[in-house]
């Protein structure tokens, strides 16, 4: 099952029909995806399931209905095991950004972290899960797939927010501060931290 966030509300892609009552179930093949997304953005639908019998094909089906925007991002630790966060649009987030032509997704993730935070000396230590969310650009809905990587750095300078990208501040947060920041973050960022091992 996949979890795609629309305006921070979950849209589940599933091959199982569950007998629950607090959500709406749609058939992925026949759903008017744009109408569904609009209703989620308008808060008329809080949670929905998209059903398709073949789990292997389910994401492919969604990608046929929505243009895909591929991005890379980093969950970066320093030597003190603090995590690098950015503050933008009134919320705490992790640095990430879109892939450029000819780039490998790992290169995208490192480049974007460097550009958005000024932190250098990044080394990827492992691949994390991908997250999915729908956003609107120029009146069109798109599916953003972010490939996340755990990274480490010995960087000891002062991080610099990329202001032309709307980033107001960059901060290293300890596990306690991370818990606070996640209260004012996005659901897909919280997913990355649900794996308790990330808060060593």
Q: What's the first-to-final CA gap in the chain, in angstroms?
A: 27
Is the same domain home to 59 and 74? no
Q: Report pLDDT for 2.
A: 93
Is the same domain home to 141 and 72? yes
Q: Report pLDDT for 196.
A: 47
Which residue has tokens 């755990």? 150
**Residue 106's domain spans which residues?**
68-198
Is the same domain home to 59 and 88? no
Domain boundary among 12, 36, 65: 65
Is the same domain home to 123 and 168? yes
- Indicate the SS3 state at residue 72: strand
CA distance 23 to 149: 32
Q: Report pLDDT for 8.
A: 94
Specify the CATH number for the domain of residue 189: 3.90.79.10
| pTM score, whole prediction | 0.91
Q: What does the pLDDT profile of the chain (200 residues) look like in tens digits?
A: 899 999 999 999 999 877 766 678 899 999 999 999 999 999 999 999 999 999 899 999 999 999 999 999 999 999 999 999 999 999 999 999 999 999 999 999 999 999 999 999 999 999 999 999 999 989 899 999 999 999 999 999 999 999 999 999 999 999 999 999 999 999 999 999 986 455 54
Domain boundary among 16, 46, 65: 65
Domain boundary among 17, 50, 65: 65
Is the same domain home to 99 and 189? yes
The total of structural domains in the chain comes to 2
Is the same domain home to 139 and 181? yes
Q: Report pLDDT for 17.
A: 79
8 A C-beta contact, residue 73 and residue 96: yes
């Amino acid at each position: 099952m996949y979890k795609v966030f629309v305006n921070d509300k979950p849209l589940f892609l599933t091959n199982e029909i569950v007998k629950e009552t607090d959500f709406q179930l749609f058939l992925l093949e026949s759903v008017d995806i744009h109408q569904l997304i609009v209703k989620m953005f308008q808060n008329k639908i809080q949670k929905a399931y998209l059903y398709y019998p073949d789990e292997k094909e389910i994401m492919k089906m969604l990608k046929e209905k929505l243009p895909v925007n591929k991005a890379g991002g980093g969950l970066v630790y320093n030597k003190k095991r603090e995590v690098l966060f950015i503050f933008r649009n009134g919320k705490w987030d992790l640095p990430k950004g879109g892939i450029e032509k000819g780039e490998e997704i790992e290169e995208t993730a490192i480049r974007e972290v460097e550009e958005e935070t000024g932190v250098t000396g990044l080394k990827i230590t492992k691949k994390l899960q991908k997250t999915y969310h729908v956003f609107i650009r120029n009146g069109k809905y798109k599916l953003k797939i972010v490939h996340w990587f755990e990274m480490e750095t010995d960087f000891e300078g002062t991080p610099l927010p990329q202001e032309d990208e709307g980033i107001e501040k960059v901060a290293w947060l300890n596990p306690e501060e991370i818990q606070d920041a996640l209260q004012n973050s996005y659901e897909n960022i919280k997913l990355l931290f649900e794996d308790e091992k990330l808060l060593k």
